[in-house]
Structure 1
């Protein structure tokens, strides 16, 4: 398939998904809280598509669309973090009837208040792109698609195809995952970096699945996704610890917002809550350390090297039928999560992304 045709198909579907989901995230906040999650995932997939097809896009239009998508993603991301944290705090309250209950109720209240503020950010960005404004910007980007210099992608000098681009981009993404996997994964920051690189590889695999065999789009994709999901659990706990630290710092410095969430307004109430938050933070910290060790044991048996080699092997054996222009039934990708599915439904993968 010519790379320009692939760029138009992929970006058109992914831009439509963002345009469709932005007003939904604004209007159905209370009835469908996962709409913000789906919007965030859609913007990330769209940004991944932009990065992949950057050689085919005019620089000005590429930069403008990245700016628009970043603005939308940040608004949706703030809501997503609040939703995930609120759900985890509420679940913990249901399971824990006594220990740290006051602190859990406090952080849950603060998180729900912040969710309201995050929704205002979504409302603001939806107003900015109201009507057809975002679609018009998307149309300008699609019109800017052009044939890239073949030397940018294909050293052979042959007409540039999606397979040429797939081999170049996926090799780069696989190399970055392999590099991150060799770091000290007992360090949380290194785990976070590995998670980000795995996620980018997964998004790249979704774009290029039509170029390769079924094993690439199913078995290998699922193994990459499994690794990302394990790392996502660690990231949630790490983010919660940072959030508790922030709430404690605000309370200690006398923030009006922090004190207004207390049952009592006295200095003694604040001091008592700080002690409760410290205890809750310690509990989460122990759980994070335990989870990191458990991940280390699991990862030691995870054949990352084998997965990397299998992915590299797939790149050597491009799917000739797909590179000649045949696509899967959804028009773009044979990977389990199609581009069209992003705009119409959600799944555990969407929320975890």
Structure 2
């Protein structure tokens, strides 16, 4: 990276964060939030220069991890400060969503074309040309925001807030020791995931599958945040089947979101007479049909892969690592 882009310092998108088992939970939270705020900032120049779409992806993931700490570390910060910070980081994320969606569509262009017959390709070409134009407009807006003085002040203030624990409003779990707190959080989230997943069938509403995806992501984040406190081999055993199920849930969600986006796109392309280009509409319709079939297949894969995650070996290891006497 330094050979290609000397002006952009190399960085680790998932840096190691040292934790102590007896470390107060608020210090763990602050360490994680500060680390990922710094990672987000290191991606800003790459987003503005439009070097690679991964800069925006890493920026969003970093802020998402910060939001996850605020949501998952319950009782570490005061309720008022938690709510205010969650709103602030949601606002930071909101301005990046459409650009990222369009990046994904454009990156997957070849994949989309393979899903539909050649006679629908002209309409798809017109659709992707529109995606590219919109993406350039949205990126220009985002770049101006990232270069603005107001944004710079906001990020500096957030980094100053999380420089230590002095200016933070603490909650009842702020001084709870990290190891015991981690076990409690992970065990509760694991049980919730299992309860949801055991109810998934081919007829389960999409909303329930999406809820499972979100809870699996929260479980994964918690385990990654607190991984330094536990045996690496044990965590690798637990993460592997969870990640596989997450992959299926992610595709399920992607196919759902993409269908909705294509329907919205066609509706916005209607002209004054309420007519849409026939080739474009046909290409979108063909893609929606194929994506619907793929979404159904991923639901089946979720059910199958949960059986691996719910195996006796994984159940016993979760119990051994995280279950507490009162549970």
Q: TM-score, normalised by structure 1?
A: 0.73
| Superposition pairs of residues 65-104 of structure 1, within 5 angstroms | 65-93=85-113, 98-104=118-124
Which structure is higher in RCO with an 8 Å CA cutoff and minimum separation 6?
A: 1
Gaps of 5+ in 2: 1-21
> What residue is the counterpart of 2:157 in the other structure?
136
Q: For residue 129 of structure 1, report the CA deviation from its aligned partner.
A: 4.5
Question: Aligned pair in 2 of structure 1 residues 167, 121: CA closer, same or farther (>3 Å)?
Answer: farther
List per-residue Cα deviations over 1:78-137 (Å, max 9, x = no partner).
222211122222333368671421232133223223322432452254226443431222
Q: Of 265, 269, 293, which residue of structure 2 is paired with 1:286?
A: 293
**Contact preservation (8 Å) 1:7, 1:145:** no
What is residue 191 of structure 2 aligned with on the other side? 175
Whole-angstrom CA distance in 2 between matches of 1:172 and 1:108: 44
1:2 aligned to which of 8, 17, 23: 23
Do 2:197 and 2:306's aligned partners in 1 also have CA atoms closer than 8 Å?
no
Shift of residue 205, structure 1, vs aligned partner: 0.7
Structure 2 distance, partners of 1:215, 1:109, is 47
Aligned to 1:304: 310
The answer as to whether partners of 1:107 and 1:244 remain within 8 angstroms in 2 is no
Q: Provide the C-alpha distance between the structure 2 equivalents of 1:12 and 1:294, rounded to a whole number of angstroms.
A: 37
Alignment of 1:137-176 (within 5 A): 137-141=158-162, 142=164, 143-145=166-168, 148-149=171-172, 152=173, 160-176=176-192
In the comparison of the two structures, how many residue pairs are matched? 296
Of 255, 267, 279, which aligns to 1:237? 255
User: Is the Cα contact below 8 Å between 1:15 and 1:46 reproduced in 2?
Assistant: yes
Contact map agreement 1:212 1:315 (CA 8 A) in 2: no
1:197 alignment partner in structure 2: 215
Please state how far the C-alpha of 1:181 moved relative to its aligned partner. 0.4
- Asked if structure 1 preserves the Cα contact closer than 8 Å seen for 2:262 and 2:288, the reply is yes
Equivalent residue, structure 2, for 1:249: 267
Q: Please, what TM-score do these two structures have when normalized by structure 2?
A: 0.78
Q: In the alignment, which residue of structure 1 is the partner of 2:237? A: 219
Q: Distance in 1 between matches of 2:27 and 2:301?
A: 45
Unaligned 5+ segments in structure 1 are 154-158, 260-266, 318-353
CA contact (8 A) 1:202 1:221 kept: yes
Q: Distance in 1 between matches of 2:141 and 2:82?
A: 24
Q: What is the SS of the residue equivalent to 1:34? A: helix
**Residue of structure 1 in register with 2:128 after alignment:** 108
Q: Secondary structure at the match of 1:56?
A: coil
1:14 to 26, 36, 59: 36
